[in-house]
Amino acid sequence: MTNYVKVVISGEVDIYTSTKLKEKLYDIIDKNDKDLKIDCSQLKYIDSTGLGIFAGAFKKAKEFDRKIYLTGLKSNIKKLFVITGLDKLFIIEE
């Protein structure tokens, strides 16, 4: 049995798609008592709105004493997490 719920994010996370992503992630965090593993290998683009959604999801998961793992980050997207310091919050797996 796995100790996490896996979510695959694909395409672009920006001001137009972030609300839907926020609802999905928050819903998963609310309804499960497991960590969250987000597969970003199909994520092509993320803007500051999207990064904000990730930060909010982290905060929500932390309230329930859960972790969020990020896998498959492309180098340009990983760079954004490093620049913003978000890489310190999430467990980034290569």
Is the domain covering 4-93 a CATH 3.40.50.300 domain? no
Q: How confident is the model at residue 73 (pLDDT cuts 50, 70, 90)?
A: very high
Q: With 0-12 CB in 10 A as exposed, 13-18 as middle and 19+ as buried, what is 16? A: exposed
Sketch the domain layout of the chain as residue ranges: 4-93
Q: How confident is the model at residue 2 (pLDDT cuts 50, 70, 90)?
A: confident
The answer to whether 63 and 31 have CB atoms below 8 angstroms apart is no
5-36 tens-digit pLDDT: 999 999 999 999 999 999 999 999 999 999 99
Contacts of 77 (CB under 8 A, 6+ apart): 40, 43, 45, 46
Q: What is the pLDDT of residue 1?
A: 66
Q: With 0-12 CB in 10 A as exposed, 13-18 as middle and 19+ as buried, what is 38? A: buried
1/71: higher pLDDT: 71
